[in-house]
Chain A
Amino acid sequence: MQTIIEELEGRFKATPLAISVPGKNQKAVYLKTGEKSVPEIMLLLEGKGVILADLFAAENFDGDKFSLFYIFEKRDDPVMMVLVVGIDEAKAASVAAHFPGACYYEREVADGFGIEFTRAFDKRRLFLHEVYPEGFHPLLKSFENKPLDIDYSKLVKEYPFRKCSGEGIYQIPVGPVHAGVIEPGHFRFHAIGETIFNLEIRHFYTHRGLEKLAEGKTPLECCAVAESVSGDESAANVTALTMAVEEICGIKVPLRAWCIRTILLELERVYSHLGDLAGMAIDVAFPLGAAAFFNMREETLRQNGALTGSRFSKGIIVPGGLNRDIAQSKLGGLQAYTNDFVARLEKAVADIKASGWVIDRFETTGTIDKALAAPLNLSGPVARASGVQVDTRIDHPYGIYEKLRVEEYPREGGDVLARFLVKADEIKNSIRLIQDVLDQTGGGPVFEKYEAIEGYAMSMVEAARGQNLHWLWLKNGRVERYKVRTASFCNWPVIEHAVVGNIVADFPVINKSLNLSYAGNDL
């Protein structure tokens, strides 16, 4: 990454941006460049094998009307590069030809700010559905956050889905309202008989305007917003937010606070993965195998409740550490609980493996090609099950993760079975991490005073579903812009690839094996 940065500075006169308050852990290099050199830079970067980790916009940043932030990551390189492109008009060139993942981001920016991406091959709306009027762009500063007066019965225009035609092709629209109590999402299948020929997803039925809601709040108030991004990623997201705040004010969080945070983060991964394992068994009609996972998930949630007073560990992690300490006796209770956990889990996984009927359904179902990982920026268990070694805890360690033995369990299969086994292994690793952390958790304070006034910072965490990237910009102690990109946002499009050639009846188990968040996708 360093050589790329130097090349950009030399060839394109990209100027390093003065980071207003450079933190000690700052691992992101900001380069500012003009709009004109963007196509050439993208061509260069594409050749260097970097990954577009995020793309978003901000208004009135560093003297420009709009700024586009392209965040690049190189595998096995801890340094991240943020390319800041200032534009005066609401118009920019699309980079989707170089980085296919940009397609989703550009549609998001176009909806939020009304920035038009020229030469983009997909200009459809993303999170603004068809009932919103033309010219409505909620993330513009000129838009005041208040209830809207919209006639929801009137469609402005139809959303054009991909068309498929031919003999024997029929269309299956599913959702957004489903038979189960699950989040809303629309899936448009084209099938030939039972075999899926094409799938297009249309989500964003859960838009809450969180990014807009965060604006004008203090960092502490913003914690509740971060926790609401996705219900079962609350600890991960609030940790990412607090890390960004701590970066801006340059404070060091006490060790004990980080230990407890790590325990909560890993517990979150444990219960999330347990839910997935149970769900996969349920979806192939094997509830007997799922029961053990469901029980353990419920126990984990109760452990969370006992530790923090919230089953989803909400309301304890704040900028500067924790807002209250957890008694050592409660941590001891958790330690006692984890003693036989791995053995029980292994027993439950062995029961699943012993059922040939289940393995037959899992194997070769919903295969994800490794080659899709970089262009779509896949992360989390989804990527690891396809043989991609990527884990933010290892690649960009935060908190105390550098000192812990985080292990990766990559599998090459890329199918439902691989994802099942990767998640099972990761639970075991998380339990071991929790035990290690419990062993080294000493006394001491859990909160460090901070004063966050001005500045911006990026932070990344490994949530259960993969890498979540947050970017926070504070002005006068208030949030000026808060951007969250969850792993779900990047991982969702891959389902369109994973299901092709599978049968319609296998879709639910493929979907469950990915277990992506609908809310985390759609702030």
Chain B
Amino acid sequence: MNWNTAVYIVMNPLFALVLSPLVLGLIKTVKARIQGRPGPPVLQQYYQLRKLFHKEIVYSEDSSFIMRLGPYLGIAFMLTASLFVPMVFIPQTGWFGNIILFFYLMITAKFFMVLGGLDAGSTFGGMGSSREMTVSSIIEPVTIMSCAALAFVLKTTSIPEMFRTLLAGSIFSYPTLILVGISLFIILIVESARVPVDNPETHLELTMIHEAMILEQSGPKLALVELASGVRQTVLMALLINVTFPWGLAGLAGCASLLLAAVTMAVKMLILAATVGLFESLLAKIRFFRLPDFFMIALFLSFITIVFELLR
């Protein structure tokens, strides 16, 4: 292992970990401002995590080791997955980066969260888990189709390779990526449990999907679960950003270029966060059984990308 890879392995997950609460906070602020409220401070998510890490953990009497272990596994799988999407610079090694493996690592993290939801034996946890699995199984073919479209356009299944190809070319060489970008945006909305799929701000247990699953988690364990969700969102955002607008990503790991790349990425991330906030504000939550209609847009756009590539 050379120093380049070592820096990457430390820096990429750390970047996602540190930035994700800010992204969450910004989305909240944007939504509040659109509604005409001041909203919580942008850094509120960091305060929240600090508070949770200082709280005691309460377990349901009916829960087993899964609830205790789940959050660790969840964050571990998410951080591993975050290695697959270069956020600041593209590593030289080809060890990681398979896009199919990337999505399945994320699904494994979700799997443990779903188990945790079932484990406590509460009604809402079970309901949330069941809904999460329903949504997951419908979005999975969409995700695979988007992966296939990306691979088709860029002639590789490795995410770092994709980014490298993109950096060398320009958006005009791959116009169909705009369509895949929309697909990825929809996948981002679904995976980060946002309106119109789920409502991260609701207090109504009966309407929850993601939040219902983690209702029984508390203290530092809850903080880990929330961090994992934050990282999931950040990583997917990074994938979307670098597929549609990769410029600014450092090719080499020099100190100055790394810093510049990190700042550029953070700015792009925050712009996307504001877009997500705006998107969420303009929509209402879709009726649960109509969700496939919404996913179908992503499926279709990815499919049509493949068709276009074949016709070219």
Write the residues of chain A forming the contact surface with B, with a CB cutoff of 8 angstroms: 171-174, 178-180, 194, 281, 283-291, 295, 355, 357-358, 360-361, 503-508
Chain A nearest CB: distance from B218 CB in Å? 14
Among B123, B131, B201, B285, which residue has its beta carbon within 8 angstroms of that of A361? B285
- Contact size class for B? 20 to 34
Among B34, B127, B284, which residue has its beta carbon within 8 angstroms of that of A285? B284
Chain B nearest CB: distance from A208 CB in Å? 25
Chain A nearest CB: distance from B121 CB in Å? 12
Asked, given contacts A172-B123, A287-B35, A287-B281, whether A505 binds B288 with beta carbons under 8 Å apart, the answer is: yes
Indicate if the CB atoms of B36 and A291 lie closer than 8 Å.
yes
Chain B nearest CB: distance from A505 CB in Å? 5
Q: Report Cα–Cα, A494/B160, bound state, in Å.
A: 59
Q: Report Cα–Cα, A143/B290, bound state, in Å.
A: 57
Q: Report Cα–Cα, A357/B207, bound state, in Å.
A: 16
Chain B nearest CB: distance from A275 CB in Å? 16
Q: Please indicate which of the listed interface residues A287, A289, A290, A355 has the most CB atoms of chain B within 10 Å of its own CB.
A: A287
Which residue on B lies nearest to A356, using beta carbons? B284
Indicate if the CB atoms of A194 and B289 lie closer than 8 Å.
yes
Indicate if the CB atoms of A288 and B206 lie closer than 8 Å.
no
Among B37, B196, B204, which residue has its beta carbon within 8 angstroms of that of A357? B196
Asked, given contacts A178-B205, A180-B204, A508-B207, whether A286 binds B284 with beta carbons under 8 Å apart, the answer is: yes
Chain A nearest CB: distance from B109 CB in Å? 24
Q: Report Cα–Cα, A501/B139, bound state, in Å.
A: 26
A-B contacts besides A178-B205, A180-B204, A283-B207, 8 pairs, CB < 8 Å: A171-B123, A174-B205, A281-B284, A287-B35, A288-B35, A289-B284, A291-B36, A357-B283
* Binary flags per residue of B194-213, CB closer than 8 Å to A gives 1, else 0: 01100101111111000000
Q: Report Cα–Cα, A287/B203, bound state, in Å.
A: 13
Among A172, A179, A288, A503, which residue has its beta carbon within 8 angstroms of that of B204? A179
Enumerate B144-172 residues with CB–CB distance to A below 8 Å.
Answer: none
Q: Report Cα–Cα, A512/B305, bound state, in Å.
A: 43
B282 contacts A by Cβ under 8 Å: yes
- B-chain residues with CB within 8 Å of residue A289 when the two chains form the complex: 284
B221 contacts A by Cβ under 8 Å: no
- B-chain residues with CB within 8 Å of residue A291 when the two chains form the complex: 35-37
B297 contacts A by Cβ under 8 Å: no
B286 contacts A by Cβ under 8 Å: yes
- B-chain residues with CB within 8 Å of residue A503 when the two chains form the complex: 287-289
The 27 listed contacts between A and B (C-beta, < 8 Å) are A172-B127, A174-B123, A180-B203, A194-B131, A281-B284, A283-B207, A284-B284, A284-B285, A285-B196, A285-B199, A285-B201, A285-B283, A285-B285, A287-B35, A287-B201, A288-B282, A291-B36, A295-B36, A360-B290, A361-B286, A361-B287, A503-B287, A504-B206, A505-B206, A505-B288, A506-B287, A508-B206
